[in-house]
Structure 1
Amino acid sequence: MICVNMRVVILVILCLCSFASPKGNEKDSSGGKSTLDDAESIEAFKPTHEWQSVKKGQPIPKGLHVRVNLQTGETEAKLISNSNNERTDVLSVHDDVNSEEDRIEADELSKEVRESLLKLENEEKATPSEIADAVRERFRSYKELKEAFKQLNMTVKTDLEIMHELIFKYKNLQRSQKTSYDEILAVLTDMEYLVHQFDNALEFVRLEGVSDIVIPMLNCSSPAVRAEAARLLGSAAQSNVKVQIAALENGAIFSLLRAVSLDSDSVVRIRSLYALSCLIRNFPAAQARFVKEGGLSVLAQLFDKEQENHKMQVKIKIITLLYDLLIERQDTIKLFSGYTPVIKEELEMKMKQYKEVGLEKSLLDQGWCSKIPEVLLAQDQNWSRTKKRDDLSSALTDIPVRPEHDFVEKVVDTLLAMVEICHHDFNINSDLKRMIIGLREWYLELAMKEELNKSAKQIREGSDESSNDIVDEGFLYYSGIARTLERLTRELEKFGAKDEL
């Protein structure tokens, strides 16, 4: 026989009795619905020294042996026997009849159980409006919470409320003659943090933040304020069409191009390039204005003149932007087939807009077909050092992903995206073709080592050697670059053959 603490025993007995009673929505034999109080009308259990079945909902006196047959789910009970050899098949408990405190606690617990079950039954029958009223009674509104926190000298505000306060504060600073640039900078920084959220950016536009704050501050005499204003616009415009439209309507592209081209501060130029990228991505109308106002020419000047400490960083940003703009067009063409007429009509309109931009022709006219390869060829002297480091490190551990590889990946991806419009310039550039072949052989070697390293690592960790995902090319960095170089080589050969004809 298993002896259990008296409180646990009482809890088990009460739960068995409570959950054995019929559900509130089930009908009894008389055709009416039963409730939890029906248990009181059932005849009391009369115990003997033999095991007897306990009916559902039947009250059980205290001081009995109780057991539950796990196979049949039937509850049985009998009087406590003086025999020490007696045992139960599943569960046997006994009551300490001398504990008055336990009896009182059991009565209270029984009452709590019944009240909880009645509450559950009532909630099941409640209508949606009754449930809503119950929720309002249990939880306080935002207004009530604000009042409560106000009494505690604490302030609770939503992001939109903070945005309103920041714009109000900015306007007061503009009217004050004692305003410092640090105060304006602090307000712009707080706004930039908020506009990352989509709804906050929409509210920023609704409150004329682009026209009243960003555009004027791009012309501020403080480089730090100009840089923060550009960053604020870029953060708000990311994948937010309404912000992009507001910026376009307020002449932001012209202001940003002027900052990229003429600003004496390198941080302002980089932040303005970031804002410009966010503004024209996936927005053909802004791209058309960008090309019309000489944006590609401005980027070409920045590409060539940027200071040495930021030169490579800026070039990578420009190359990435050009790649994204080209891929947008190519993806739209690929998506055109296989869609419903309505979707096709939208894509057709978008393709027409991209065609009106004339980006490809502008890239060709502005000399970008030679500028991108020059970036790759300029790093020729660094490849030998990088190769030696990779060869040494691969003998010791996994091959590290260095900045040089990230640079190669972005440039090669862009060359592949431009090959259709620049194939003639690429094919007559013998140094570029030699570089592509050399890089392809190098990355094929790195890819092989990468695959071996991954396979060995998975085997060490106990993976199945025969599993098909031991070498998953989708997760192999260098294999991806090698495949891009192979595609670029095939495309150049294909267009080269056409050029010869």
Structure 2
Amino acid sequence: MRLIFCCFGGANLSCLFLVLLQLHCSLSQKFEGALTVVNTEGGGGADEEEEVTVDDDDGVFEVVQPNEQWQTLKPGQAVPAGSHVRLNLQTGEREVRLGEEQLKYWTQQHREEEKSWSSIDPDEVKRAMKKIKEDQSSQDSAPSAFRPLDELKKDMAELDLLVETDVQIMRRLLDQFNSSNSTAEQKLSILQELEYLVHQVDNAQTLCAMGGLSFILQGMNSSDVRLQENSALVLGSAVASNPVVQVQAVEGGALQTLLTTLATTQPLNVKKKVLFALACLLRHFPYAQRHFLSHGGLQILSELFRADAGGILRTRIVTMLYDMISEKELISQAGLDPVQDPAHAERLRQYSQVSLQEELMEEGWCSLVPQLLQSTEHDCREKALRALLAMTPVCLDQYRSDDALLGSLLALRLQYSELIQSEIILGEETSYFTEIVELIDSLQVKVKDQDVLLKGK
């Protein structure tokens, strides 16, 4: 590499000129360009020009990246070839900017790229290129990690043979479940797989068409409590929001099986899953609700409620009864709408045959539900209050004479009012406790209104 350092001297210069010499350097076949190194140190006397040869391995020169604006050059700085260099007669300093051709194609991307190249050490670039070549050589010598295309096609063809649809899977699972060679562990695994599949409406209906419900009910009658529990879970998942399966389940004897299981001595986990299945079967299905009442369902639940000292089942039972009362009310209120769907009249007729509230009063639920207020769980109390409000049309007389209920309402209102104040002081959300207080107030208002009516008589 050759560099020419130009020195200009003399006080009286009629004209000034700048000598630019191209600096050719190659950075591992990737970095090629031309630089002009300008030296502005003055000499003595006449203009002088000194030519020196510099090896490109001696160091890295600071390269000024010109732009569209004039910028001052410092002594010993280099500029890319094609740059426009001038002498400022006012300041005596040399300045540089892009040449005319470069200005046409100048972009921000070019600036960033040239800036990164200007700070690269040639030795570093050489070492990097050498490492790339070594890595490439090692990869070429290593065995290929890719499998031949024909082998991949063969594997894919074999995989295609193993693909099963949901229908095929359920058929295989039912065959295995019904096999005499299947162990209890295998049947348990089958039920868990079925429970996952029947969450899809079509799969649940297909399972019924295959006769799968009968196998599930057989599992509920098993002596293995794990099979009973998981069979009830599959049944509940299959009938949930699926009218077609609900009809087939009732016709297949599922309701009787569920009630029998609840009426007999069973572990707590089994009864929890059976209550889940029963609630899913009765929800939005007045035909099943009517059969539930006619088969003594409320009596079975009342016995279960009284026997549940821990209160775990009580909340589930009261929630199920509240849902049944509420959906019947909603259907009746929808009957006031002049625009109705064609099936509404039939649903209204079917719900009219379900005398749920009257039977709740006869089975003593007006005094059973208030017991849930003694729970320390806010959720249990909330559900009890909602059920009590829903049962007021038939239970108001008993509420009025139930001193324990009236005392509980006063105590709970005081407790939740204090909780609301505490939450306000702490700056926390109070909407849940406020909602419970509103439920208590609504129930108290209904009881007082009844007192006024009785006194008026």
Would you call these one fold, judging by a TM-score over 0.5? yes
Name the TM-score, length of structure 2 as normaliser.
0.64
Distance change (3 Å), C-alpha of 1:447 and 1:219: same
Query: How many aligned residue pairs are there?
Result: 327
Q: Offset at 1:354? A: 1.4
Which residue in the other structure is 1:314 paired with?
313
| Alignment pair present for 1:185 and 2:197 | no
Q: Describe the superposition over 1:168-211 as per-residue Cα deviations: whole angstroms up to 9, x where unpaired.
A: 2223x1xx2x4432222221122112212223222212212113
Which residue in the other structure is 1:488 paired with?
443
Where do 1:59-458 residues align within 5 Å?
A: 82=84, 84-86=96-98, 91-92=106-107, 148-149=155-156, 151=158, 155-171=162-178, 173=179, 176=180, 178-211=181-214, 213-306=215-308, 308=309, 311-340=310-339, 342-343=340-341, 346-377=343-374, 379=375, 404-453=377-426, 456=427
Q: Secondary structure at the match of 2:222?
A: coil
The whole-number CA distance in structure 1 between the counterparts of 2:352 and 2:407 is 34
Which residue in the other structure is 1:136 paired with?
none
Distance change (3 Å), C-alpha of 1:204 and 1:436: same
Which residue in the other structure is 1:124 paired with?
none
The whole-number CA distance in structure 2 between the counterparts of 1:451 and 1:315 is 32
Amino acid across the alignment from 2:320: L
Q: Offset at 1:495? A: 2.4
Q: 2:305 touches 2:313 (CA, 8 Å); kept in 1?
A: yes
Distance change (3 Å), C-alpha of 1:347 and 1:495: farther
Q: Describe the superposition over 1:450-489 as per-residue Cα deviations: whole angstroms up to 9, x where unpaired.
A: 2443xx36xxxxxxxxxxxxx7x7xx21111111111111
The whole-number CA distance in structure 2 between the counterparts of 1:322 and 1:411 is 10
Q: Offset at 1:154? A: 9.4
Q: Which runs of 4+ in 1 moved over 6 A?
A: none
Q: Offset at 1:279? A: 0.4
Q: Describe the superposition over 1:130-156 as per-residue Cα deviations: whole angstroms up to 9, x where unpaired.
A: xxxxxxxxxxxxxxx998545469944
Distance change (3 Å), C-alpha of 1:300 and 1:147: farther
Amino acid across the alignment from 1:436: L
Q: Secondary structure at the match of 1:357?
A: coil
Distance change (3 Å), C-alpha of 1:430 and 1:186: same
Q: Offset at 1:441? A: 1.9
Q: Offset at 1:89? A: 9.7
Amino acid across the alignment from 2:379: D
Distance change (3 Å), C-alpha of 1:243 and 1:451: farther
The whole-number CA distance in structure 2 between the counterparts of 1:147 and 1:366 is 69
Structure 1 gaps of 5+ residues are: 1-6, 8-66, 68-79, 97-144, 380-402, 458-470
Fraction of identical pairs, as percent: 30
Greater radius of gyration (CA): 2
Structure number with higher helix proportion: 1
Q: 1:450 touches 1:478 (CA, 8 Å); kept in 2?
A: no
Structure number with higher strand proportion: 2
Q: Describe the superposition over 1:382-401 as per-residue Cα deviations: whole angstroms up to 9, x where unpaired.
A: xxxxxxxxxxxxxxxxxxxx
Amino acid across the alignment from 1:487: S
Distance change (3 Å), C-alpha of 1:319 and 1:147: farther
Q: Describe the superposition over 1:417-468 as per-residue Cα deviations: whole angstroms up to 9, x where unpaired.
A: 1112100000111221111021112112212332443xx36xxxxxxxxxxx
Amino acid across the alignment from 1:266: L
Q: Offset at 1:254? A: 0.8
Amino acid across the alignment from 1:481: I
Q: Offset at 1:91? A: 4.5
Q: 1:149 touches 1:155 (CA, 8 Å); kept in 2?
A: no
Q: 1:260 touches 1:298 (CA, 8 Å); kept in 2?
A: yes
The whole-number CA distance in structure 2 between the counterparts of 1:404 and 1:327 is 23
The whole-number CA distance in structure 1 between the counterparts of 2:266 and 2:355 is 31
